[in-house]
Amino acid sequence: MLKKIIILSLIFSLTGINTFSADDIGNKVNEKEYPSSDAVLPKQNGNADFIIEGSVEKNIDMTLDKCIELALGNNPQINAAFHDILASDTRIKQVWSNYFPQFSWQTGYTRIRQLQLSDVFNRNLTFNYYILGQITLQQMLYDFGVTQNQATIRRLDYEANKTTLAATINDIIYQTKDAYYNLLYAMENKRVAEDTVKKFEMFYNQAKAFYEIGMNPKVDVTIAEVNLSNAKLQLIQADNAVNLAIAKLNNVMGVPFIDKYNVKERLNYHPVDVTFNEAIDIAREARPELKLAEIKVESANQTIKLTKKSYFPTLSVEGQLQVGGKSWASNYGYNFGGYLNFPTINGMLIKNEIKEARYLYDKEIANAKNTQNEIYLEIQNAFLMLEEKKNQIPVAMLGVKQAKENYELSYGRYRVGEANPTELKDAQINYQQAQLSYYNALYQYNSAKAALEKAIGKNLTQNTGDIVEFSK
């Protein structure tokens, strides 16, 4: 339960991730720029759902939200980062233990043989026995803030581990999104391959029928048969690509191949409306690595203060009780006193340790600046990539529309005997490649959007509006 609370709080407070509902993404799109896909893409007959092995539940509808939920709960990297937090919390308590009394107990038994020369000849040996017990109680009263500085450094380490967990969560969410979109892309490719096989089966049957009535030569049947075989090979490759995409997604989610889940979502275009300056502003607040850099700078500053206190003594009190002798009650004593314990001072050593701490402080400042620059560059690259992929979508859609029209014309010509099998094959292949290019553009766009969300450390949610869905 504690793990879930920490992770969820980090998701909302550190990464700024709100919800992952696709309905919250998007804005109004110009229909002229992005035409309806119904007039562009072929219709898919039959059940287009994909049943996939790998879930910890049976027969559930897997969505992106569900994949992210599984990844946050099962990914080993997140689990490792979480236990770093627990370990750093115990180290804080270890430091504060300096303010608690130090208790020690010592006991012993001694047997002493007193030997004299006359005793040797008379064989009269004397043995003495001694019992010793000692209890020591020591309490540190004041150490000039050394423990306080140590505790501050340990607490900063704790905050650094929490921030590292937030960064890990941000990265795992991105990996999950990219793997999920890659799976949707592989599934779309498989659908295209299945449709291509159906079409080439239809061409083969058509060529065979024309040959049987003497309308076309035998070579047309052979060509159609070869085209069908190639299409089946492509379907095998597409099916294998789906399985590889499943394995990648399951690996990110940290789930084994156990049961089955259903994937019904399709690759769509969800527009986002964010400027580069807005992305930078979001990253300043949400990107965990920036906060981590600040924590490291402060930790280095605290280390300087701690090192300077190497000259200071420790004030403590100590009480001691001793009992012993030939019996426990034979002899006893006690003492109580205050102590001002000065460390062994090596001026040259401490002086250079302080210099080292200052150099490391300057190093962390430089690292913080470098982290900021790298994040800004990451945002710029992701922003430009998103714009590029967004502009490719209408071009790819137009290519599908043109390729489909060319295919329909070629098929019409073939049915009336005006086109040869090669022309029809080329038209179908062009149509297939146009669809694959279109789905690749959709995948690249969604992957770029996920990369931008990772770069700013927050899921991009905009004003609700119409979402353009490109589905068959």
CATH number at residue 284: 1.20.1600.10
Residue span of the structural domain in which 364 resides: 2-456
The whole-angstrom separation of Cα 176 and Cα 120 is 88
Amino acid identity of residue 19, one-letter, is: T
The answer to whether 186 and 194 are in contact (CB under 8 A) is no
At 397 the pLDDT is: 93
CA nearest 170: which of 469, 364, 467, 451? 451
Tens digit of each residue's pLDDT (9 = 90 or more) over 130-139: 677 778 888 7
E-assigned strand segments in 311-440: 314-325, 331-341
- Average pLDDT on 89-110 reads 80
Q: Is the pLDDT of residue 404 over 50?
A: yes
Task: Calculate the average pLDDT of the chain.
Answer: 79
Q: How many domains does the chain have?
A: 1
What letter would DSSP give residue 42?
Answer: P
At 73 the pLDDT is: 86
> 418 or 408, which is more confident?
408
What letter would DSSP give residue 219?
Answer: H
**Which residues 6+ apart lie within 8 Å of 406 measured at CB?**
427, 430, 431
At 471 the pLDDT is: 38
DSSP, collapsed to helix, strand or coil, labels residue 47 as coil
For residue 458, the tally of other CB atoms under 10 A from its CB is: 20
Does 270 reside within a domain? yes
DSSP, collapsed to helix, strand or coil, labels residue 174 as helix
Does 466 reside within a domain? no
Token digits for 188? 């779309």
Least confident of 58-72, 230-244, 427-441: 58-72
- This prediction has a pTM of 0.76
Does 461 reside within a domain? no
Most confident option among 60-64, 267-271, 462-466: 267-271
**Which residues 6+ apart lie within 8 Å of 354 measured at CB?**
304, 307, 308
Tens digit of each residue's pLDDT (9 = 90 or more) over 316-331: 888 887 776 665 556 6
Does 296 reside within a domain? yes
At 322 the pLDDT is: 78
At 36 the pLDDT is: 31
The whole-angstrom separation of Cα 444 and Cα 274 is 18
Does 140 reside within a domain? yes
Apex 371 CA angle, 9 and 275, nearest 5: 75
- Average pLDDT on 42-68 reads 62
Does 469 reside within a domain? no
Does 188 reside within a domain? yes
- Average pLDDT on 213-229 reads 85
Give residue 347's pLDDT band: very low, low, confident or very high (50, 70, 90): confident
Tens digit of each residue's pLDDT (9 = 90 or more) over 109-131: 666 555 555 555 555 555 566 67
Does 465 reside within a domain? no
